[in-house]
Amino acid sequence: MSTLLDARIVRTRQALRQAMTELAEDRPLDAITVRAIAARAGIGYATFFRHYADKEALLADVADRLTQEFLARIRPLLQQRDRRGAARSVCDFVLEHLALYRALIAGGSGETVRAEMLRQCLATAANARTHPPDGPLDDLILFHPVSTILNLVAWWLRNLEAVDADTMAEIIERLVLTPVGNLRADPPKGA
């Protein structure tokens, strides 16, 4: 019985995340209601609240899943030190989830969601470290690229018509990944 209940919970939450994602493609976040999410997911209105406290909690879960998927995709490229490939992968991922990124990062809840995505990215990256941080530079080398890339993506979403994915990938590579990669390769004396 417990396994059946667990499977139903997983299916219901997946349906709610999918409904939120689909609705975010059609309308602004502030126009999406819990009733609309529940209807799109094919569940009852009250059932929604058995899984999430409110629309923002569901949105945080959607952002968390998106962040995990993004990190899983970009991590191998960064480990191979393929900075251009990693930067292009960032852009491709954003374009594949464009409506959702627009809703999450560039929409009305952008600051809140960006803060949550930053928290999640930092936590995941910190857990993946092969050694404990060796002073403030290690923490900054983690914080700076993650926060800067999220802010650059938000800027890009507002300027998408003027900046194509190749140009944006070059910007991310040159402004973020190469300088941070150089810091890792040659730490300053006394740090």
* Per-residue model confidence (pLDDT) at position 108: 55
Phi-psi region of 81 (alpha: psi -120 to 50; beta: other; left: phi over 0): left
pLDDT tens figures, 13-71 = 999 999 998 888 777 778 889 999 999 999 999 999 999 999 988 988 887 788 778 87
Alpha carbons 153 and 96: distance in angstroms, whole number: 13
Own/partner long-range contacts of 110-116 (Cβ < 8 Å, ≥24 apart):
110/154, 112/56, 113/59, 113/60, 113/63, 114/150, 114/151, 114/154, 116/60, 116/63, 116/64
Cβ–Cβ under 8 Å, residues 77 and 85:
yes
pLDDT tens figures, 117-126 = 777 777 777 7
Higher pLDDT, 78 or 153: 153
* Per-residue model confidence (pLDDT) at position 175: 93
pLDDT tens figures, 79-119 = 778 888 989 998 999 999 887 787 777 665 556 666 777 77
Domains and CATH numbers, the chain: 1-52 (1.10.10.60), 53-185 (1.10.357)
As to burial, measured by CB atoms within 10 angstroms (0-12 exposed, 13-18 middle, 19+ buried), residue 96 is exposed
Q: How confident is the model at residue 191 (pLDDT cuts 50, 70, 90)?
A: very low
Helices then strands, each counted (H, E), the chain: 10, 0
Alpha carbons 17 and 64: distance in angstroms, whole number: 11
Identify which of 76-85, 117-126, 134-143, 164-173 has the greatest average pLDDT.
Answer: 164-173
Residue holding tokens 């993946």?
128
The pTM of the whole model exceeds 0.85: no
Average pLDDT of the chain is 83
Terminal-residue alpha carbon distance, the chain: 56
Which of helix, strand or coil describes residue 170? helix
Which of helix, strand or coil describes residue 77? helix
